[in-house]
Structure 1
Amino acid sequence: MTNDEMNQILELNGEERYDYFLSLVGEEREIWILVNSENRFLKIESDDGALAHLPVWPSSAFAVEYAKGASDLSPKSISLPDFFKKWVPGLTKDGLEVGVFPGRGDTLWITEPEELKRDLQDEMSSF
């Protein structure tokens, strides 16, 4: 992917990035997160602490782009079966939402783990 292509995708609004995410993850069958040197995943909380989410990306390249300037974050792949079986129940239990494909703007599609799982399953059924 060229820098121009990446920039065009990162400039999409939250809903368009969500659709792109579903399409690419449906094909590749993996989700990307960022982890620190202790293998702890990046979790982002709102200023008032009322909302916390796990940011996810459709590819390693987008996760790396997001982490630029943060020296201790690196991309980690999660297979869709693992995400469905382990992560969705764990995130739900911990009360964490999922921030799907953060881009350059302030808009971010935040959803419940179960809803993302259903949307991904719907997307995969079209293949």
Structure 2
Amino acid sequence: MSNDELNRVSDMDGEDRYEYFLDQVAESREVWILVNGNSQFLKIASDDGDVEYLPVWPASELASAYANGEDSLTPRSITLPDFFRKWVPGLTGDGLEVGVFPGADGTVWLTEPEELKRDLQDVMSDF
């Protein structure tokens, strides 16, 4: 992914980033998260603490750009079957939402794990 494309995609508004995420993940069949040196995934809490979510990206370059030099965070791929089978039930059970493709401006599209799974399955049915 070129720097121009990285910037263009990162500068999209939340809804456009969500649509881009769905299309890219449906094609690549993988979701990207950030993990620390202990293989613990990044979890973000809202400013008021009411919502906790797992941020996800459609490509490792986009996850790396979000980490922006945080040496302790590295991108890790989750295959879509693993995401559906393990992560969606786990996130739901833990009461975590999914923050789809957080933007450089700090905005993020929050969704329930099951809703994201349905949206991805809908997009994949078009392939």
TM-score tier after normalising by the smaller chain length: over 0.9
| Structure 1 residue matching 2:104: 3-state secondary structure | coil
- Rounded to whole Å, the distance in 1 between the matches of 2:20 and 2:48 is 30
Q: Report what 1:50 is aligned to.
A: 50
User: TM-score if structure 2 supplies the norm length?
Assistant: 0.98
Q: Report what 2:72 is aligned to.
A: 72
Off by >2 Å, runs of 4+ in structure 1: none
Q: What amino acid sits opposite 2:95 in the alignment? A: G
Alpha carbons 1:13, 1:105 under 8 Å: kept: no
- Rounded to whole Å, the distance in 2 between the matches of 1:21 and 1:106 is 16
- Rounded to whole Å, the distance in 2 between the matches of 1:106 and 1:14 is 10
- Rounded to whole Å, the distance in 2 between the matches of 1:67 and 1:97 is 19
Q: What amino acid sits opposite 1:91 in the alignment? A: L
User: TM-score if structure 1 supplies the norm length?
Assistant: 0.98
Q: Which moved more, 1:2-11 or 1:101-110?
A: 101-110
- Rounded to whole Å, the distance in 2 between the matches of 1:81 and 1:118 is 13
| Structure 2 residue matching 1:53: 3-state secondary structure | strand
Aligned residues: CA RMSD: 0.7
Q: Report what 1:37 is aligned to.
A: 37
| Structure 1 residue matching 2:122: 3-state secondary structure | helix
Identify unmatched segments of 5+ residues in structure 1.
none
**Aligned residue runs from structure 1 range 1-20, under 5 A:** 1-20=1-20
Q: What amino acid sits opposite 1:65 in the alignment? A: A
Aligned length: 127
Q: Report what 1:102 is aligned to.
A: 102
- Rounded to whole Å, the distance in 2 between the matches of 1:41 and 1:87 is 12
Alignment partner of 1:117 is 2:114: no
Q: What amino acid sits opposite 1:77 in the alignment? A: S
Q: Deviations over 1:40-70 (max 9, x none)?
A: 0000001221100000000101001111121
% same residue = 65
Identify unmatched segments of 5+ residues in structure 2.
none
| Structure 2 residue matching 1:82: 3-state secondary structure | helix
